[in-house]
């Protein structure tokens, strides 16, 4: 339908006014944003640290022939566990402090890393079956696990309790978990601790802990956000990272205090693959000695978990 000339002018005038007002509003908002300090990214750029690692011919010569021949390390991990191992924004690229350490170890040995994403509970069976060469997934080196696989230790951590922001249920210690629902990733030391705590609750005549076993940290966090559980048990790096980053730090808190059941994380190897374990141990120790290891951990804000010695089967 044709628009009369006067009506057209009025309509144009209104449109111009709307555009001008909107533009002024945008300018005003832009000015306010420009004056605000940018939020620091929780994900550091560590490319320059890892790319500076130089191959050590002597360490490379210690690799098993099959690894040296393939030119790669088949590494199984659980790429759902920031800041340890997770996917970048593109949904394809593995990142995390463990990813950086693994890449640096591989570079020192003159090979590359092939990350394979897997459920945590499948990692040890994957080693035992020979489907992978090693694992690196925030796995605690324990005497129980050493009975099945070997470890080279690369970090020290412990279990923490993560709660909803402001801790509405006032969970301040493990005993406060009695009668509560708690999430932990299936097959981890965190799940085992929850079961042990439930036993302690029963011995004290208190209600047991209801344990929700999940397949990833993200799933555990969803359980907590929606109130299906009262707390999440997780290792210090993962819990601290989630508390800082999920909902810009507005979703969770970590209960203050020393980590529970502290101990080392270990890179896992099949018992039949001691030669590879020794080569990786030598490469990791070289990275500790030359400062690369410390630079990676510092970039991720995790220097408190640094080790000075890459121990073999160092479970306490």
Q: What is the CATH number of the domain that holds 200?
A: 3.40.190.10
Residue 143 lies in a domain: yes
Asked whether the beta carbons of 182 and 212 are under 8 A apart, the reply is yes
| 253 and 270 inside one domain | no
Indicate if 60 and 179 belong to the same structural domain: no
Domain presence at residue 294: yes
User: For 100, phi and psi rounded to 5 degrees?
Assistant: -65, -45
Q: How far is CA 106 from the centre of its chain?
A: 20
Same domain (yes/no): 251, 268: no
Residues 238, 284, single domain; the answer is no
Q: Among residues of the chain, what percentage have pLDDT more than 90?
A: 78
Cα distances (Å, whole numbers) of residue 51 to 19, 100, 105, 313: 50, 10, 11, 29
Expressed as residue numbers, the domain containing 187 is: 158-260
Q: Computed from CA positions of residues 171, 176, 178, 182, in that sequence, does the dihedral angle turn out positive or negative?
A: positive
Q: What is the pLDDT of residue 41?
A: 65
Q: Is residue 297 within 8 Å of 157, Cβ to Cβ?
A: no
| Domain-terminating residue out of 260, 277, 292 | 260
Q: What mean pLDDT do residues 61-85 have?
A: 95
Q: pTM of the predicted model, to two decimals? A: 0.74
Same domain membership, residue 146 and residue 62: yes
Cα 315 to Cα 144: distance, rounded to the nearest angstrom: 9
Let me know if residue 115 belongs to a domain. yes
**Residues across the chain:** 316
The verdict on 108 and 179 lying in the same domain is: no
Q: Please tell me whether residues 225 and 212 are part of one structural domain.
A: yes
- Does residue 22 form part of some domain? no
Query: 60 and 282 in contact (C-beta within 8 Å)?
Result: no
Answer with the residue of higher pLDDT: 40 or 29.
Answer: 40
Q: What is the pLDDT of residues 241-259, one digit of tens each?
A: 899 889 999 999 999 888 8
In a domain, 87, yes or no: yes
Same domain, 128 and 249: no
- Whether 12 shows a pLDDT value over 90: the answer reads no
Same domain for 249 and 286, yes or no, is no
Please indicate, yes or no, whether residues 137 and 61 belong to a single structural domain of this protein: yes
Residue 31, in any domain of the structure: no
Kindly report the number of other CB atoms within 10 A of residue 43's CB atom: 17
User: Do 134 and 227 belong together in one domain?
Assistant: no
In a domain, 8, yes or no: no
Same domain? 290 vs 166: no
Domain total for the chain? 2
pLDDT in tens, 86-126: 999 999 999 999 999 999 999 999 999 999 999 999 999 99
Tens digits of residue pLDDT in 166-190? 999 999 999 999 999 999 999 999 9
The confidence score (pLDDT) of residue 40 equals 52
Asked if residue 211 belongs to a domain, the reply is yes
């Amino acid at each position: 339908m044709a628009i009369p000339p006067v009506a057209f002018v009025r309509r144009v005038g209104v449109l111009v006014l709307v555009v001008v007002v909107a533009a002024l509003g945008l300018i005003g908002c832009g000015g306010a944003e420009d004056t605000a300090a940018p939020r620091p990214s929780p994900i550091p750029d560590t490319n320059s640290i890892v790319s500076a690692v130089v191959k050590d011919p002597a360490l490379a010569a210690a690799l098993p022939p099959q690894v040296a021949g393939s030119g790669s390390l088949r590494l199984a991990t659980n790429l759902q566990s920031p800041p340890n191992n997770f996917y970048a924004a593109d949904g394809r690229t593995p990142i995390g402090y463990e990813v950086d350490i693994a890449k640096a170890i591989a570079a020192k040995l003159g090979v590359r890393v092939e990350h394979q994403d897997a459920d945590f509970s499948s990692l040890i069976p994957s080693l035992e079956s020979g489907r992978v060469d090693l694992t690196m997934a925030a796995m605690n080196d324990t005497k129980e696990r050493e009975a099945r696989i070997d470890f080279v230790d690369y970090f020290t951590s412990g279990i923490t309790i993560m709660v909803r922001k402001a801790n509405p249920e006032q969970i301040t210690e493990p005993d406060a978990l009695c009668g509560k629902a708690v999430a932990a990733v299936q097959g981890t030391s965190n799940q085992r601790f929850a079961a042990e705590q439930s036993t302690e609750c029963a011995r004290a005549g208190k209600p047991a802990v209801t344990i929700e076993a999940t397949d990833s940290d993200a799933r555990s966090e969803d359980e907590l956000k929606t109130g299906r559980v009262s707390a999440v048990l997780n290792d210090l790096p993962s819990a601290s990272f989630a508390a800082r980053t999920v909902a810009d730090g507005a979703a969770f808190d970590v209960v203050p205090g020393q980590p529970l059941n502290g101990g080392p994380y270990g890179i896992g190897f099949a018992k039949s693959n001691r030669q590879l374990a020794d080569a990786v141990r030598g490469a990791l120790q070289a990275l500790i000695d030359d400062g690369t290891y410390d630079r990676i951990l510092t970039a991720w804000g995790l220097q408190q978990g640094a080790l000075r010695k890459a121990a073999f089967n160092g479970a306490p």
